[in-house]
Each structure stands twice: as C-alpha cells, then as structure tokens.
Amino acid sequence: ALPICKTFFKTVIAGFPSGDKRLTFAQLEALTESPAKDEWDFKFLGMSNHPFIKANYPHHEGIWGWEDAGDQVIMVVRNIKRTMVEYHDILWDIGYAKTWEEAFALVPNLYRERPPLEDFLAWRDERVFDEIDWYGWFIDYYMEGGLMRDMITNKITTPEHWNMLMIPNGHKFEDLQYDVVVGADTHVEPSYDPNCALITNGCAPVKVISAERLADPVKGPAVGLEIAAAVDDKEGMNVISPEARNCIWGELIIRKKGMKTFLDRGGYEEHDYSFTKGHLEKMVKELDRLIEKYSNVPWTTNSNAQVLVDLFQEHRGLILEDLAEGRFRRIMKRKSSLTPDRFRELE
C-alpha cells in the first residue's frame, strides 16, 4: 500500500483510448517502483496516493476521476489508424462494457488475443468516422491547455455546448451540431475546461511520447529515457539510476516482462484489420489539419508541437501508402449493419 503521508509529484498519462498509455506507465512503474491507477478507479474505488494516473479524458471513454491529484501531464500519441484498431481491441476485451462494474470484472481479459475480424468491421463501420474527429480534438484539448472546442468543426465553443459534448450518448447527433447549439456566426469567447486548473502545471503536456517509437528496437531506449526524465527529481520520485534505465526498457519491451500490453496479443496481426478508402482519406485529412496547425505560429517554438508534426507526417505517409497500394475494403453490406446513414456516402 502507498503511504498516505508521503507526498508524490503526480503525473497524468493521457491518451486517446488505446494500449499506448499502458506501455508508458509500465515504464514509469518500473523506473520508480510506484504504481499507476486508472481514472475510473479513482472515481469508483476512491481517491488514493497513486503517483501515476491513466486517463482517456476528455474522450467519451474517460472521466476526470482523480479530482485535484495531478501535477503534470504526459500525452501519449499513437498512429491514428493503429489507435482505432487497439481501441476496438480493448472494447472487445471487456465485452463492450457500458458500466465500470462490467469493465472491472473483465480486466483479466485485457491484451490476451485479438478480436474476430467480423466484430471489428461492424464496430469500424459504426464508429470510426466519428472517432477520427475525436482523435484530433483530443490532441488539441491537451496542447491548448483545455481550450473548449467542438470536435466536428474544431471551432472554439461555449461551456454549454462543451457540457453536451461531454455526454454525447445523452443527445442525438443532430442536436449536438455546432450551428444548432452555438450558431454558425456567433462570436465565442475562449473558455477553458475548469478541470485543467486542478492540475498544478495545467493540462498542456510536459512531454509528448510516441507509443510506436517507445516500442521500436532502435528508437525505444531514447524514448524510455525521456519518460524517466519527465519524473526525475520530482517530489517522492525515486527514479532508478541512469545507468540502469535502458535495462528497464529492454526488460519490458524486448523481453516483455511485467504486465501484458498490446505487444502481447495473439492471433491476427494489427494490419489484418483494414479500413475503407473513406476512413483512410478522412484520417489523412485530419492529419493534414493537425500538421498545418502545429507547423505554424504560435506553435513554431513549442517542442511538443514539433514532435507532433514529425509523428503526424510519418503516420500520414504510412496511410498514403495504404491508399496507393489499395489496402482498404468496403463498408460491410449486411442488413443488420449499424452503420449510420450519414457515413454511407463516405466509403
């Protein structure tokens, strides 16, 4: 058990729903011998002194459950296409649970194997066009320190609209539209999520970590050292000596010691889960938007923005290769398909 009386400088490990945060906090746990805890566990099991907080917030799969416990944010970013595959993998692991209790009971299922292709394709057709918007919106949220934006138009929005977006399943898609709630020509003063004021150093990340590069045999050790540096010399953090840090990375990534991660899944390979041409084209369009945004003022002197641009250009190139090589498939033509009609013309 963690000593209640000991003060820890606490780090929120934030990322779009996927397996990348687990890979990152596994490094932190091994480097410091201190544990991580999920945002939902803070909410439902109660507050505790865990120094590492795993968060999907503000994505609809997340919740700000840790109150004012955070001191800084590390944002973990993964290739948008791979993220969607692993996001579904996790949903499948926990039986598409709708409650914390259901999900918690199925935690032992995590990262064992990959889902049937049929299950992925049905979810893909129903969700991925929307989740591409959430992916870029999530990154903007943290980079801009919690600035409230609409994920469909990317426009700055009002607290009223933001609060509706935070519970998207509570409204019809049409009722969440920016033009309906805010008005197309309305001047909106920037508002920030008040939760970000609860983090000592705010929501803007101190470090952006690439999940792919962390797992890469060549680039990974350097990323592992970046993770260690983000908590080194922080209160309560006893980080292992510098000469042993590469060893920690090797044990977890190469020799796969410790908890299961997405690297341990059996069955299909990630590339077996394909997308439609429309999905890939929308992913490229979203990456284009992010590259354009973070390549220009006021981001040109922001080191995290430059890391993002480098990553997004790499990810964009991989998706363009898929498009050029014809590595995509059509939306499933099943009578029982849950694919929303508004996606039909996008395939």
Average pLDDT, the chain: 93
Q: Provide the whole-model pTM.
A: 0.94
Distance CA(337)–CA(346), nearest Å, equals 16
pLDDT value of residue 31: 97
Residue of higher predicted confidence among 5 and 305: 305
pLDDT value of residue 335: 42
Tell me: cis bond preceding 58? Omega within 30 of 0 counts: yes
Distance set, CA 12 to CA 29, 126, 196 (Å): 13, 30, 11
Distance set, CA 97 to CA 130, 266, 275 (Å): 19, 22, 24
Q: Are 82 and 270 in contact, with CB atoms under 8 Å apart?
A: yes
**Whether pLDDT at 336 is above 50:** no
pLDDT value of residue 5: 84
**Whether pLDDT at 19 is above 90:** no
Distance CA(206)–CA(338), nearest Å, equals 40
pLDDT value of residue 179: 97
**Whether pLDDT at 333 is above 80:** no
In the chain, pLDDT over 70 holds for what percent of residues?
95
> What single DSSP character describes residue 250?
I
User: pLDDT tens digit string along 223-276?
Assistant: 999 999 999 999 999 999 999 999 999 999 999 998 878 777 888 888 889 999
User: pLDDT tens digit string along 30-89?
Assistant: 999 999 999 999 999 999 999 999 999 999 999 999 999 999 999 999 999 999 999 999
pLDDT value of residue 264: 78
Residue by residue, what is the 3-state secondary structure of 191-206?
CECHHHHHCCCCCCCC
pLDDT band at 342 (very low <50, low <70, confident <90, very high): low
**Whether pLDDT at 334 is above 60:** no
Distance CA(47)–CA(134), nearest Å, equals 28
